[in-house]
Amino acid sequence: MRMLVGFLREVMGFFVDDGLFAFAILGTVVLAALVATVMPRTPIVAGAVLVFGCLVVLLANVIVASRR
């Protein structure tokens, strides 16, 4: 059982290296979905939230990683 848990953690590590980064991207996607739901006639706003939100999260992650 312990070996299986270790294996699953390693496999998960292939896809999610930085958990905070993954949750921030997920939060950005949720925020863009909420904007798309609230303003269905202007999908460009939801797209802009998604693009710029992901760019901000990526930039913040790079800055934090460079300080380590």
Q: Is position 38 within any domain?
A: yes
CB within 8 A of 16, min separation 6: which ones? Answer: 22
What pLDDT, on the 0 to 100 scale, is given for residue 14?
A: 72
Q: Distance between CA atoms of 44 and 55, rounded to whole angstroms? A: 16
Q: Which domain does 39 fall in, by range?
A: 18-67
- Domains in the chain: how many in total? 1
What pLDDT, on the 0 to 100 scale, is given for residue 32?
A: 97
Q: Is position 2 within any domain?
A: no
Q: What is the pLDDT of residues 5-56, one digit of tens each?
A: 888 888 777 766 777 888 899 999 999 999 999 999 999 999 999 999 999 9
What pLDDT, on the 0 to 100 scale, is given for residue 22?
A: 83
Q: Is position 13 within any domain?
A: no
What pLDDT, on the 0 to 100 scale, is given for residue 9?
A: 83
